[in-house]
């Protein structure tokens, strides 16, 4: 007698239906590609319509159909059979409006502008597809193509910022039920290469003295505040006399970027500078009125940053570059020369560390946020901050 081997196949029966006493809808019963039984509501009360939905569930569970194709089939089914099963649908342009409306309520105008720009770049890249295709039709290759198109025009940091915004958009779309799969999930950011001019660096004392020598009174003051407080340009332009306490020898401000309240001690040289300014201790008046007016007019520091770049060239710290046409228009990658007003923040950190000030004290004074440091130092006292302020060298 010949004994034939037993052959086990992975062919599963068609999905079945069941009714629960707690729901008016048919529930699909089906098996996935590993043979495990699954149950899911079809949101249908008609048995024939429910069977069609259940079969679609089984298709994707057994990996015979991608979730993107399943979504497309379910949308088609809903249009055909009506009923109470609803699939959220929208084109990228339609959902982007919803996404940006939410972000406008959450973000400062400057930050929102970068979100709006990133979304516009994505719509431009997709062309007609942004208004004609369901957002669920977009796949990883589309996002990779978008990222690569940015890398040809923009610096890696700028391109990665736009990519992060787009990733947020698709994360929210999935949360809201407009997607089954997130096409951004495995898309990596661009790498920053050493030597590409993107690294910020601190100023040397010689450079600072050269800049101060050619600066007008307000820029000179902003630079002094930048070096001795390590704060951002926008926060220093918005600084008022009421925030400077000469009795306590400290400045109090709330960061525009992080909304964090920061207490900063006055170093000896910064205190001398503050006392030398016209209108010292004038209540709610701005310490730097002209630059404060530019900040209020524009709502951002872009024009002020350009002014500082001109100052750097005048001081010979940044060399003037010839304009070479790249063929990329306004979207062309901008050359970064590694120095800007923000580098005064790096300068402050470097000077403090070179003076032996502990990392946690530097962290608190400058206003950085680091969970790792906070885990080691739960509180930095005012006395430690005053010692840190006294550690700055004289310019």
269 and 377 co-located in one domain: yes
If you ran DSSP here, which 8-state letter would residue 199 be given?
A: -
* Phi (first) and psi of residue 23, to 5 degrees: -140, 145
The dihedral through the CA atoms of 47, 48, 51, 52 has a sign that is negative
Q: Is 16 helix (H, G, I), strand (E, B) or coil?
A: strand
Is 188 domain-assigned?
no
Q: Is 86 exposed, middle or buried (0-12, 13-18, 19+ CB in 10 A)?
A: exposed
Domain boundary among 32, 49, 81: 81
Answer whether residue 43 is part of any domain: yes
pLDDT in tens, 326-350: 444 444 444 445 688 989 988 888 8
Angle at alpha carbon of residue 238, lines to 216 and 159, rounded to 5°? 90
Task: Verify that 34 and 129 share a domain, yes or no.
Answer: no
Are 152 and 43 contained in the same domain? no
Do 246 and 346 lie in one domain? The reply is yes
Q: Does residue 76 share a domain with residue 97?
A: no
Question: How far, in Å, are 155, 255, 349, 350, 394 from residue 366 at the CA level?
Answer: 27, 10, 7, 11, 18
Q: Are residues 72 and 98 in the same domain?
A: no
Quote the percentage of the chain above a pLDDT of 90. Answer: 32
Looking at the fold, whether 76 and 103 belong to one and the same domain comes out as no
Average pLDDT value over all residues in the chain: 78
* pLDDT attached to residue 12: 45
Residue 31: beta bridge partners? Answer: 37
The most confident of 68-77, 242-251, 373-382, by mean pLDDT? 242-251
CA angle 224, 229, 235 (to 5 degrees): 90
**Complete DSSP assignment for 341-355:** TTHHHHHHHHHHHHT
Say whether both 108 and 162 belong to one domain.
yes
- 361 vs 268: which has the higher pLDDT: 268
Q: Is residue 22 part of a domain?
A: yes
Residue 193 lies in a domain: no
Q: Answer yes or no: do 69 and 104 share one domain.
A: no
- Could you give the C-alpha distances from 390 to 224, 226, 276, 348, 359, in angstroms and in order? 14, 15, 19, 12, 16
Residue 11 has pLDDT above 60, yes or no: no
- Both 270 and 218 in a single domain? yes
Residues 229 and 377 in one domain: yes
Query: How many domains does the structure of the chain reveal?
Result: 3
Q: What angle do CA 170, 166, 154 make, to 5 degrees?
A: 160
Q: What is the span of the domain harbouring residue 51?
A: 16-81
**Last-in-domain residue among 45, 61, 81:** 81
For the chain, the residue count is 395
Which of 35-44, 244-253, 318-327, 338-347 is predicted with the least confidence, judged by mean pLDDT? 318-327
Is 258 in the same domain as 288? yes
Q: Is residue 194 part of a domain?
A: no
Please tell me the predicted confidence (pLDDT) of residue 220.
95
pLDDT, residue 10, reads: 41
């Amino acid at each position: 007698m010949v004994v034939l081997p037993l052959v086990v196949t992975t062919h599963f029966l068609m999905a079945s239906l069941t009714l629960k006493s707690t729901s008016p809808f048919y529930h699909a019963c089906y098996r996935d590609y590993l043979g495990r039984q699954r149950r899911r509501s079809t949101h249908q009360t008609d048995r024939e319509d429910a069977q069609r939905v259940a079969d679609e569930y089984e298709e994707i569970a057994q990996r015979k159909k991608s979730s993107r194709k399943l979504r497309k089939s379910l949308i088609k089914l809903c249009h055909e059979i009506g009923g109470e099963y609803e699939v959220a649908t929208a084109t990228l342009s339609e959902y982007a409006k919803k996404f940006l409306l939410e972000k406008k309520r959450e973000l400062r105008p400057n930050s929102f502008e970068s979100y709006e720009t990133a979304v516009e770049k994505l719509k431009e890249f997709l062309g007609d597809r942004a208004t004609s295709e369901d957002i669920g039709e977009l796949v990883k290759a589309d996002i990779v193509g978008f990222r690569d198109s940015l890398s040809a025009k923009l610096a890696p940091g700028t391109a990665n910022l736009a990519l992060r915004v787009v990733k947020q958009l698709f994360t929210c779309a999935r949360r809201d039920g407009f997607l089954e799969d997130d096409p951004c999930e495995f898309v990596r950011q661009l790498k920053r290469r050493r030597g590409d001019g993107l690294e910020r660096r601190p100023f040397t004392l010689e450079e600072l003295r050269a800049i101060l020598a050619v600066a007008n009174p307000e820029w000179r003051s902003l630079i002094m505040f930048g070096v001795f407080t390590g704060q951002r340009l926008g926060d220093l332009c918005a600084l008022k006399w009421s925030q400077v306490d000469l009795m306590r020898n400290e400045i109090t401000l709330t960061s525009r970027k992080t909304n964090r309240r920061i207490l900063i001690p006055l170093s000896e040289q910064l205190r001398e500078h503050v006392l030398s300014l016209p209108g010292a201790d004038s209540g709610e008046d701005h310490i730097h009125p002209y630059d404060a007016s530019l900040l209020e007019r524009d709502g951002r520091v872009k024009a002020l940053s350009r002014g500082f770049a001109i100052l750097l060239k005048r001081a010979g710290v940044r060399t003037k570059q010839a304009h070479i046409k790249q063929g990329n228009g306004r979207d062309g990658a901008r050359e970064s020369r590694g120095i800007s007003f923000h580098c005064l923040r790096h300068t402050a950190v470097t000077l403090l560390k070179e003076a032996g000030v502990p990392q946690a004290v530097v962290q608190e004074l400058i206003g950085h946020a680091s969970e790792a440091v906070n885990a080691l130092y739960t509180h930095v006292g005012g006395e430690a901050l005053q010692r840190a302020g006294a550690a700055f060298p004289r310019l």
